[in-house]
Each structure stands twice: as C-alpha cells, then as structure tokens.
Structure 1
C-alpha cells in the first residue's frame, strides 16, 4: 500500500462522516450545538436548526467549520407545520439528502405556552419531522431520537412533578417514532433512541435544580455520575457511528435505579 493510500485510509477513519449530511433539530445551543461540533470534526455537513436565535446558530456553524466540517443554518419551529416544512424543503434544495437525522429539540417547561405544548413538541413535532425528512433519507441513513431516562421509564418510575408532563410527552413521542421502525428498516434506515439521566448544564436540569434546590447533587448520589452536555454529546456522536444496539436503545450511564437490577 502506498504512502498516499495509507494517508487516505487514515483520513477516512478520522473523518467517517466526510460527504455526509447531518441535520440536528434544536442545535443552536446545549446538547444539539455540542453534537454539531463533534459531527463537524468527523467531516459532516451539519444543518444547524434554530427557532429564533439566528446569531447564536451562526456561532455554532462557525465552530463546526473551524473543526473541519461544513454547516448550513436553517430556521424552523418544529411546532409550526409551515415553518418545519420550509426547513426540510430548504435542506432538500441545498443538500439533497440527509444521512443523519438527530431529533434533539424538546421542551415543555417553558412559561406562557399552551397546555398541550409539551405534547405538541415532544410527540407531534417529532413525528412530523421524521415524516418530512423521509424523502431525503436513504439506505444507510440513521435517525437518532434523544430522550431522558426519566421519560423513557416514566411508566414504571415516578419523576419530579414539574417534569412529569415533559416525561410523559417525550415517552409518547418515543412510542410514536418506534412504530416507524419496521418501515424504516425496510428501506435500510437505522433508528436508535439515546437515553440519558439529568444532563448537567442543560436548561431543563438547571430549572429543576432551581425549583428543587440540591436535586442534581441528590441525583448524583443516587446514580454515581451525571453527564455534562459535552459528555452526553459524545455519546450521541457514538450512536451515529456504532451498530444499532439491542431494542434500538442506547442507555447513557447507569439505569439500575430505574430497572432495579
């Protein structure tokens, strides 16, 4: 093997997403932004989706480009059908494909929202996003849905009252997306749920700790470790590259608290 071929092979291993398009919903901050930068470092063209803060999204795009990736910044409110339709139309026109779809955007603890906002965002919007993405997905594409242990196990393990509407709606979203696994599999499209505990540095964890002072410290004592935004983003990156796990679920951190095992 020539030195040039060896160098190319090494480069391919270091940049396995070169030439690939990754769309991350809600990627102008937090976990989504951190994941965007990690995928950019692997060579991906990352679609940075934001709802209203375009300058913040552009800053994420600059970071993606700085580590060797490329970026496209596209506005899109996942709860607004016209807005999210325009998002995927723009991606289709500009890039023509989606190799990795990361359904990261979520919420439900915001003030002054409709009573069913959590369900609109965490279930209905997730299903709509996947439906709109499907024409751009292809054999070898991967869909990743981000959730929490508190949501994933909500039917068997109670959670904080303030988080319960979010947990229930995210579990409803997970169930609705899982129903699509057979049809995705027929097209050779992988699907994986990445579930983690409270993530230090996220808005949700910060709000819960503000409402229940000390809850993050208490949670750390219960499970041994809470992941940071950056550490959890690394797990999402790995879920993009690794074989699909059993039951299409990648658990980040200890889950014995929820399973009793």
Structure 2
C-alpha cells in the first residue's frame, strides 16, 4: 500500500498521534511535511526517522492558528515538493477547566487552534486537494467530541465542530474525486493521557469495552488507510477508533 510521490502535510506532527502518522506515511514513500509550533528538536527527530526508513521529509514551523504562518508554510512545501495531495489536520490543544471557571480567553484559545487552525490549513490547501488525483483531507477529532467530557467544554466543542466541517467539505470535494473524512480516536497512550490522574484513568477504562487504551498505532493504521486510494469510495465519514465506547 504505497504512497510513493504523494505529498502529505501533517500538522502538529512532532509528537503523539501526529508523529506516528507522519512516520508511517513516510515509510510508505510519501513526501512528508512535519509541522510543529515549538517542538523543533522533536520535529527533526521525526524527519530523521522518516529518512532512515528511506522516505523524504522536511520540517516546517508554523502556528496553525496564524494564517500568515500557514501560508508561509504552504509556500515552503510547494517550493520543495509541489502541490499537497493529503492534509492531515492533527494539531490541537487543551485548556481544561470546569465551565464555571473557564474564561473567554480559555475558550477562544482552543477555538483558534482546534477550529481556526483547521480552517487556515484547509483553506490554504483546498485547491491542491481538490485538483489532486484523489486528494485527501483527514481531520483528527476525538471521542470527546462525541460524548463530551468533564472540564472540556471548549475542547469538546471544537472536536464536535469538525464533524459538520468534514461533512460539508466532503460534499464540496466530491465532484472532483477527492475526499474528506474525520478520524475520532478514543483515549490514546500519549503525553496527554499520561498527565491524567490514575483514578481518572481507571474510570475511563471502565467505559471501554476492549478494556485498554489505544496505542498510537491503532489510530495511525486508520489514518493511513484513509490517505490511500483504497479508501476512494468513503467520504464525509466520522470513524470512531475508541475500543467500543458508545456515543
């Protein structure tokens, strides 16, 4: 299942799920753009891993919430590899607080990155994806967008918002043969989960029928499938990879 010659931009790919996606796409022959906001050293590690596997990669710094920086990133990518075939909107942040304690600044910052960043990157790359041979837009959401989660009103709202965005863009891309889909992971073994108190993690596990947290590879395998031609008749879908959690 080769990605030879396909140019893939993965936002927020210096660590966690984004890193796993970038490394897997690179191992399959894609030209991978490793985007980061502040984790430069980690981004270069991802690039090195991809190149060690025989792939091609560049690192590009950009805050996805800043349209000017996104446009500069796009220019760097196209100067290096040409048009973008696959955009994976993975970058996101959390500012967790009970709603009664949440400020407008807490709300706005998460909106700016998790939804505003998706707008900025999709808007900038839209024509490339539309004109590509089976272009792909893949938005990374969360089971939290489906279920809600205590102390995450801002985050849950952004992740839920991706469902409607994905469906709409899918309709607008369809006549050109390109697709838009949304992958909604459950709770994954990343740095974000590591920061959750043990008693909370125990409560989460009780809600997961498969009785384990996801490995990064569980999510990566679905994203890689969606990025490839084998997924060409699937668009506008929300793909829950959550161990059987209800929503």
TM above 0.5, yes or no, is yes
Alignment partner of 1:149 is 2:143:
yes
Paired position in structure 1 for 2:217: 230
Larger Rg: 1
**In structure 1, which of residues 100, 104, 112 is the aligned counterpart of residue 86 of structure 2?**
100
Alignment partner of 1:114 is 2:105:
yes
Alignment partner of 1:214 is 2:199:
yes
How far off is 1:129 after superposition?
Answer: 0.7
Alignment partner of 1:66 is 2:86:
no
Please list every run of at least 4 consecutive aligned residues from structure 1 whose deviation after the TM superposition is greater than 6 angstroms: 110-113
**Deviation readout 1:51-100 (Å, 9 max, x if unpaired):** 12222111100001111210011111101121111111111222111121
Q: 1:186 to 1:87 in 2, by over 3 A?
A: same
- Partner SS for 2:60: strand
Is the CA contact 2:17–2:190 (under 8 Å) kept in the aligned structure 1?
no
Superposition TM-score, scaled by structure 1 size: 0.82
User: Structure 1 stretch 242-251 or stretch 74-83: which is displaced more?
Assistant: 242-251
Q: 1:58 to 1:149 in 2, by over 3 A?
A: same
**In structure 1, which of residues 156, 179, 189 is the aligned counterpart of residue 168 of structure 2?**
179
Task: Give distance in 2, aligned partners of 1:100 and 1:110.
Answer: 31
Q: 1:54 to 1:234 in 2, by over 3 A?
A: same
Where does the alignment leave 5 or more consecutive residues of structure 2 unmatched? 98-102
- Partner SS for 2:207: helix
Task: Give distance in 2, aligned partners of 1:158 and 1:50.
Answer: 27
**Deviation readout 1:198-248 (Å, 9 max, x if unpaired):** 112242x233x23xx322222222212320223322222222234254752
Q: 1:48 to 1:113 in 2, by over 3 A?
A: farther
Task: Give distance in 2, aligned partners of 1:64 and 1:78.
Answer: 23
User: Structure 1 stretch 114-123 or stretch 225-234: which is displaced more?
Assistant: 225-234
Q: 1:149 to 1:78 in 2, by over 3 A?
A: same
User: Structure 1 stretch 133-142 or stretch 105-114: which is displaced more?
Assistant: 105-114
Task: Give distance in 2, aligned partners of 1:150 and 1:110.
Answer: 12
Task: Give distance in 2, aligned partners of 1:245 and 1:221.
Answer: 32
How far off is 1:255 after superposition?
Answer: 4.1
How far off is 1:132 after superposition?
Answer: 0.0
**In structure 1, which of residues 130, 140, 159 is the aligned counterpart of residue 134 of structure 2?**
140
- Partner SS for 1:159: coil
Task: Give distance in 2, aligned partners of 1:147 and 1:62.
Answer: 27
Is the CA contact 2:140–2:184 (under 8 Å) kept in the aligned structure 1?
yes
- Partner SS for 2:206: helix
Alignment partner of 1:131 is 2:116:
no
